[in-house]
A and B are shown apart, each in its own frame.
Chain A
Amino acid sequence: MTSLLERRRRRVDELAEASGRSLTADAFQRLRRNPVAIVGAVLVGLFVLVSILAPWLAPHDAATAFPELQRTLRPDSIPGAQPGFPLGSDQNGRDFFSRMILASRQTLLVGVLATLIGLVFGVLIGALAGAFGGWVDTVLMRVTDVLLSIPSLLLAISIAALAAKPSQTTVIIAVALVSVPVFARLLRGSMLAQRESDHVLAATSLGVRRRAIVLRHMLPNAMGPVIVQATLTLATSILDAAALSFLGLGDGDPARAEWGLMLANAQSYLDVRAALAFWPAIAIILVALGFTLLGEALREALDPKGRR
């Protein structure tokens, strides 16, 4: 009897001493219970895993043409699956399966780098505009308005076309620049909302330094929608990069494995072997879908409504 009471008492003490759950921990909890998030996370996780392990997963080199494939390769017939080559040959007699796997690295690299660059610059611009207001805000926002008014793919094409020699780097820069104004606008909006909020007023009245208010109170509270947007931007960046490659504005080296480029090259062989277009297309769609689902689930989890 006493032992039960003792245990109860200890449990109550434990509860009283337990540390609280932050909003981030709360959001993560909600995320884990959402099936949409799980599907998205599985797709994204698979993609990331494959691209990291690509050199070990791919049975062959991406640039090497194999005589056993080339032997049966003709303009009107591309060999399909055979021992050692699960997806058969591509139009140049290289192992299609290995190229598909190795291409995931390019896609991940472009998507992540472009999004990160866009995020960093967008957050910088948005935070400056939102924190200072006044003419700083006006100037920065008019510039982003101009960028926003141009359709994103058109803008990316223009930027990529400006480069003297199209390469992977120009694609990343073009795709990143397109997402900068989106991040900047979004963050600036929620920073402004934070600026008017009671807890910022309370911090001001407490005598907290302006810089600390911006960095500790306004920015963390304003980042929610930006994080969601970043996840969604990963998907669009991958699509945009693929589109640029498809349009011939990426690195044109035919030896390089990249889904967008593979899709572009497969165009001429649609009648001969549709699988050459099918697999890269499916891969792009699934990866973009994964990031989109994850982003949507994240938006739901971070939504401040339904809390309180």
Chain B
Amino acid sequence: MNEETNGAAPALLEVEDLAVHFPITRGVFRGRTVGHVYAVDGVSLTVRRGETYGLVGESGCGKSTLGRAILKLTEPTRGRVRFDGEDIAGLKGEELRRRRRRFQMVFQDPMSSLDPRQSVESLLSEGLEAHGLSKGPEADRHRLRELVDAVGLPKGALRRYPHEFSGGQRQRIGIARALCVEPDLIVADEPVSALDVSVQAQVLNLLSRLQRELGLTYLVIAHDLAVVRHVSDRVGVMYLGGIVEEAPSAALYADPQHPYTRALLSAVPLPDPEAEDRRERILLAGDLPSPAAPPRGCRFHTRCPWKQAERCDTERPELRGLEGAAPGHRVACHWAEEIRDGRIRPHHVDADMVDSASGAAANLAVGAPEHASSVQEILGR
């Protein structure tokens, strides 16, 4: 999948200032809204036809919600989603349903996303029926046989039920279901995180083979840096509802600019023990702040080792290109140049200070962030 895409490829998906705010309600009858969870807060991104865009971030940073909002499975609070030039964020009902043929989703949990009472055949033919692609029972069956074969399932799989398959095979069924309506875009939400490592590679390779053969466009959402690196042409790094850095895959991993990205990448263990000893690790203090009360200014300033006295806690940085960086490499940091050139040195961040800073907000929050030690999860690989 890491083939070179030239910048001239037309955009298939354009997301502009997309936000999803979930209201927090209290009260028995008509709940008063006492606040919002800012799950996605002002995300803009562009996915070009034929490329794979990887979206990476900790659990709870809003990347799954972003994926669902793009596909209109969650109602966005504001912003626009243009698919092939047409705004789909405002679409409703039958019109939206018919548009869905062109953008499909692959889910994280391959067991719960397949109806346990439907055979594989009826799961797959459902898409054909829903979009009027059915060409009679004989032709359909032939087509589904080919499809099942294309995703590497054993013959005879059509008549079986989801619970009779292994995790990897179930994910192949999920992929086949997304493919049966011949979509242009597939949003894959953690497509391999529920699978064994040995099976992950198989499914990822299947995805990239299908992309080559069918000219698909992917938006891959994952928390695993290695997975995203393996599949993506371009990568966006999300932190607390916003994209903090976006770059071509190679550039991002070779030359991370945002302090958060640096911290993430510095945590990936290196296979070379000497390099592992020499490398500089950036440890982040504290936990992911609650998305119900995101920090003012730069979302990352409460944990940033490069935090400055000015701007960081008052002004939210926009994604912007850097001088001298790879084309398409954009960073949301006020001090990116200074950090890159070493004019600002990292300093110690006191975790207690972070806690007290977000302590005032904790009253409003619905509880602790979902995964307190979710950075650990990213460190995993």
Q: Which residues of B contact A24 (CB under 8 A)?
A: 117
A209 touches B163 (CB 8 A): no
- Does A146 make an interface contact (CB < 8 A)? no
A20 touches B119 (CB 8 A): yes
CB distance from A242 to the nearest CB of B (A): 37
In-complex Cβ contact of A207 among B97, B156, B160 (8 A): B97
Chain A's interface: helix, strand, loop or mixed, by majority?
A: helix
CB distance from B259 to the nearest CB of A (A): 35
Q: Which residues of A contact B107 (CB under 8 A)?
A: 198, 201-202
A205 touches B159 (CB 8 A): no
The answer to whether residues A207 and B130 also contact, given A18-B156, A20-B159 and a CB cut-off of 8 A, is yes
- In angstroms, Cα B181 to Cα A127, docked, is 29
CB closest chain-A residue, reference B112 = A198
CB distance from A266 to the nearest CB of B (A): 49
B116 touches A221 (CB 8 A): yes
A307 touches B163 (CB 8 A): yes
B112 touches A199 (CB 8 A): yes
The answer to whether residues A201 and B113 also contact, given A17-B156, A20-B160 and a CB cut-off of 8 A, is yes
B164 touches A202 (CB 8 A): no
A308 touches B163 (CB 8 A): yes
- Which of under 10, 10 to 19, 20 to 34, or 35 or more describes the interface residues of B? 35 or more
Q: Which of B154-174 contact A (CB under 8 A)?
A: 154-156, 159-161, 163-164, 174
B112 touches A197 (CB 8 A): yes
The answer to whether residues A209 and B97 also contact, given A16-B155, A17-B156, A20-B160 and a CB cut-off of 8 A, is yes
- In angstroms, Cα B130 to Cα A149, docked, is 43
Q: Which residues of B contact A220 (CB under 8 A)?
A: 117
Q: Which residues of A contact B181 (CB under 8 A)?
A: 206-207
CB distance from A29 to the nearest CB of B (A): 13
- Does B109 make an interface contact (CB < 8 A)? yes
Q: Which residues of A contact B71 (CB under 8 A)?
A: 205
- Does A3 make an interface contact (CB < 8 A)? no
The answer to whether residues A23 and B163 also contact, given A202-B177, A208-B126 and a CB cut-off of 8 A, is yes
- Of the A-B pairs whose beta carbons lie under 8 Å apart in the complex, a sample of 13, sorted by A's number, is A16-B156, A18-B156, A19-B156, A20-B161, A21-B161, A198-B107, A198-B112, A199-B114, A202-B114, A203-B115, A203-B126, A207-B130, A216-B115
